[in-house]
Chains A and B, each alone.
Chain A
Amino acid sequence: MADHGRGPSAGERGLALALGGFVLFNRPLLDVFDLGIGVGIAGWPSIYLYVFGSWALVVLLLFLMTRRRAR
């Protein structure tokens, strides 16, 4: 069985994703994007975009993580 550094295990990846998500969903990153209601894309407040955008990103990464395992 080929075993040249197969990369992080599922558990490690999950942990990394969780920690990354925790950082994403918190200050100070949150404050970086909290630019006030006026500032945003097409009237969407930046913070709203940021929160749901990063949430969607986390979900996507979760999806990819499981696809990798299924292979």
Chain B
Amino acid sequence: MSRPPTGGRGEAGRWLGRESLDAGALARETGDPGSGALVTFAGTVRDDRSTREVTAITYTAHEPLAARVLCELESEAVTAHGAMRCRVRHRLGRVPVGEASVIVAVRAAHRGDAFAACRAVIDALKERAPIWKEEHFADGSSGRPDGVPLREGSRAGDAGGDHA
């Protein structure tokens, strides 16, 4: 499992970065001869075609806290969801439609645990990672979708965090 970051911004690079994501590289990092299943999830930027055409999304983060959360999620995949190994990486900066914004790679002995752990990790990431998106539209405008409040009792060293 990954060693938790100690808060330095340089360490966040293991979980966050501006370059295109490489699912194969993350899968290789999780390699384990005892695993019989590899599940890889990629969240990709899409034009949801609701009202305005989305051309890209820009992601920003509180990087030290986000790195800590993603590290925790990797550990939880193993300790709580039956995975053998897990890697998570989220892209920051401007991501065009069609490109991946997040990759989760999970190895487990069997496919049931691999699928379940992968699902649990991405679901938790959406609620716990301090990462924000700004959608860019074809008409040149941009906007921010509604988000999920970080909850009291979330991990990442939470000392009883609550909301304003």
Partners in one complex: no
